[in-house]
Amino acid sequence: MVCMILNKKNLCDYLYLVDSFNGSQEIAATVQLEKAFKKTILFKTRDDALRAAADENPKRVFIDSDVGLKLFINLLKLKIKSPKTEIHVYEEGIGTYRTDLIPNKLKNLVFTALGVGCYFGGASLTKKIHIFNPSLYKKNIPFLSKKIEKIEDDFSFWISSNKDSLIEVFSPGFKVENLESLDLARVYLSDWEMDVEFIAKLAKLGRVFVKPHPHIKRIALDEITTNNNIELVPGALPAELLMILLADKFQNVKIYHKNSSCMNYISSERIEGIAHNKNTSLS
């Protein structure tokens, strides 16, 4: 979604998607993306996408991360083949503001000396980093503050304003229906693993919307016990979009999550975020 915001004024640009998340093939094929991008192309790996980008010799390449040695090498190959191309990083969740991505101090020191990114926006090859919260980035990573470009749009407002078209991009036809109560919605947001036992406990309280992480494979979802109270939400649907859709329908929305980035972007009096563990009390 951040790519769509950044490209609002440049409808001639290409979108390169990597086939690494739930629904990536369907999303790449949707005609709705034609409203935001000239062309959408799906690649098997990020390496393939970067090689293709170098062949196009674009003015700018926007990428979701520049952290790590392998990615630095691939970005270096891109710059060698297309030296005038600027590399820009855009916000990708709370990791954008973290300082512990390379925890080994010696490795961090060596990487920094080589120009390898140890923080989002930290690679020497990166020209700019586009983020929603410059103040937090400056606080955590002050020595990279000159690279900051603020994303002017309010993410929550933009999603709310474009929710119908976003549904058609990420999960055509999805809607919240069969409402038994307009008072309370419970939502389970998974991380990279599904907590099946916790989902079962939530389901005993009533209806629960289960939103898998986009990288969770379909086979993992088969472990969820069949239950009339469990409504499985498509993994490709952004959690932020789901939260806004539910807040439109319910007076109260309880989000059970494990350090989910989406809680940083969506603010509503109707939405309550609950970081859960085995000792979390349910209501």
pLDDT of residue 279: 66
Q: Give the predicted TM-score (pTM) of the model.
A: 0.89
Spatial contact of 214 and 22, defined as CB atoms under 8 Å apart: yes
**Cα end-to-end span (Å), the chain:** 32
Domains identified in the chain and CATH numbers: 2-153 (3.40.50), 182-275 (3.40.50.11110)
Tens-digit pLDDT string for the chain (283 aa): 899 998 876 656 899 999 988 788 999 988 888 888 989 999 999 999 999 999 999 999 999 999 999 999 999 999 999 999 999 999 988 889 999 999 999 999 999 999 999 999 999 999 999 999 999 999 999 999 999 999 988 999 999 999 999 999 999 999 887 566 668 899 999 888 888 888 888 888 888 999 988 887 665 566 666 678 888 898 899 999 999 999 998 989 999 998 788 888 887 888 988 887 666 767 6
Show the CA angle centred on residue 254, arms to residues 249 and 259, nearest 5°. 130
Chain-centroid distance of CA 111 in Å reads 26
